[in-house]
Structure 1
Amino acid sequence: MLSIAERHKYILDNLNRYGFVRITDVANELGVTKVTIRKDVKILESKGLLYKVHGSARPTNPHVNDTDVHIKDSMNPDAKHRIAARAVGLVEQTDSIILSSGSTVYALGEEIRRRAWHNLNIVTPFLRLGVLLSEAENVNVVQLGGCIHRKSLSVLGEAASRALDDCICSKLFFGVDGIDLEYGVTTSTIDEAKLVRKMMRSCSRSIVVADSSKFGQRGFGRICSLEDIDVIVTDSGISEQAALMVEDAGVDLIIVE
């Protein structure tokens, strides 16, 4: 039987490798009780080495706060621009698409503005993005109205949701605050989660554009389960375990280097 130190090392090694561990799995693999592993996890948490969440453990606190979009712009900018450069290839010349809010979506908007289009329709709640794309030739922008959420510079609420009743689009591109393999795709506010769900119902395909730091994170507002997403575009920082679980959920995974 492994010593306490050996069990702790096993737990931490697997956390570093997979991004999370389940208490039941560790107990079965080591041939000990779940009570023993729960005690080990509690000790490691008290030392600040992991964070316990409902029968599992993670390297850090997965819960994220609502963050100002200007701060988000400075987080992982290189990865976001690579993701945007790849995601723009999913947009067809005569598409009608919805672009939600967020720093990665804004980077996608910059890629769209750089390219020539025949007749592209874009619907967006994101005020910054609407202004940016109003300068693009042969791009028709429908700016949703509603209550302005200051941190995201995006509109939310019933007015924005009702306007989507008149839209039938081919693709939705949206950013997220968390992609948790157990709890699904989340954002930082309930109102934004509701609006994104409405956007999904207005589109044939739902495409998440998110850098790899979003995996294992959880926002306050749950958008949907992982299985409800068609495509995720992310960077090569995604763990092997997360990539396998995304693909097992039937989601097309595009990883940019």
Structure 2
Amino acid sequence: MKRHQIILDILNKEKYLEVLDLCKLLDVSAVTIRKDLKLLEEKGLLYRTHGGASLENPYINEKAVNEKEKISVEEKNGIAQAAANLIDENDSILIASGTTVQALAKYIIPKNKLTVITSSLHVVLHLINHKNIEVLQLGGYIRHSSASVVGNYASQILDNVSCSKLFLGVDGIDLEYGLSTTSLEEAQLNKKMIASAQKSIVLADSSKFGKKSFAKICGIEKIDQIITDVGISKSIVKRLEENGIVVSIVG
């Protein structure tokens, strides 16, 4: 069917599509589009998501940090450099776990003094030799897959601090479900980090959009800014901006 081919052609370019956008484009009802997507999914040509369709499986399995480091390396470095430019003189920031925020640590050039609070062991190792960066390593149990701490000890420290910015890495961003990660404990710690920061900035390459994982961190309305790469779908950018989120695209 010609309509099916049009859907697949657009999806190959956009990576993610919403039912409502397809309705307008093809001038058919939502019921018709959902039937089309169901048939295409049964043929193994796409994955249906809540309110749309994705070219990739939207459900994420946990991967070790050394595996993730090899994925979208160029995009992550570009995002990390853009994020580093947002750090102000004498700033106090939070850095969560994940390979993109880990890359951020490589590009931090402190303006005078900088205070960094982080759950990531790799971030600490990158920053430890900067004499004018004061590092507060959160304590707790170590998650081997992410090389980061989780648990009540880390959360209790966050009850007593306030930072200007949080740089947050995630495993998935779904417009309806929100931000998610593979670990429930890490999701809980990320929530505490969001509460401790005046501004929450998500660092996520475009492959993270239209995906979801086991543990929800928060809805997209809790986020102030997302830094990503040129692979992000235009329809997703539009939806994010409609929710008051600043979308910064690098590359």
Q: Is this a same-fold pair by TM over 0.5?
A: yes
Classify 1:24/1:104 alpha carbon distance in 2 versus 1 (closer, same or farther; 3 Å): closer
Structure 2 contact 101–203 (Cα < 8 Å) conserved: yes
Structure 2, unaligned stretches of length 5 or more? none
Task: Give the TM-score normalised by structure 2.
Answer: 0.92
- CA gap 1:167/1:39 in 2 versus in 1, 3 angstroms: same
Gap change, CA 1:188 and 1:12, over 3 Å in 2 = same
Aligned residues: 251
Q: Which residue of 2 aligns with 1:205?
A: 199
TM-score by length of 1: 0.90
Structure 1: which 5+ residue stretches go unaligned? Answer: none
Q: Which of 13-22 and 133-142 deviates more?
A: 13-22
Cα distance change on mapping 1:255 and 1:20 into 2, 3 Å = closer
Separation of aligned partners in 2, 1:45 and 1:51: 6
Structure 1 position 26, deviation (Å): 4.5
Give percent identity, aligned residues only.
45
The 5 A counterparts of 1:242-257 are 242-257=236-251
- Residues 212, 234 of structure 1: 8 Å contact kept: yes
Change (3 A) 1:213 1:174: same
The amino acid of 1:63's aligned partner reads Y
Q: How does 1:183-222 map to 2 (within 5 A)?
A: 183-222=177-216
Match for residue 53 of structure 1? Answer: 49
Q: Aligned to 1:146, which of 125, 131, 140? A: 140
Match of 1:75 among 71, 75, 80: 71
Partner of 1:88: 84
One-letter amino acid matched to 2:79: I
Matched ranges for 1:217-232 at <5 A:
217-232=211-226
Supply the distance in 2 between the matched residues of 1:53 and 1:46 (Cα, whole angstroms): 14
The CA deviation string for residues 199-227 of structure 1, in whole angstroms up to 9 with x for no partner, is 01111000111111111111211111112
Which is greater in Rg?
1
Tell which deviates more after alignment, 154-163 or 27-36. 27-36
Aligned partner of 1:108 in structure 2 is 104
Change in 2 beyond 3 A, CA 1:168/1:37: closer
How far the C-alpha of 1:105 sits from its partner, in A, is 0.7
Counterpart residue number, 2:164: 170
Q: Is the 8 A contact 2:14 2:232 kept in 1?
A: no
Q: Hey, what does 2:120 align to over in structure 1? A: 126
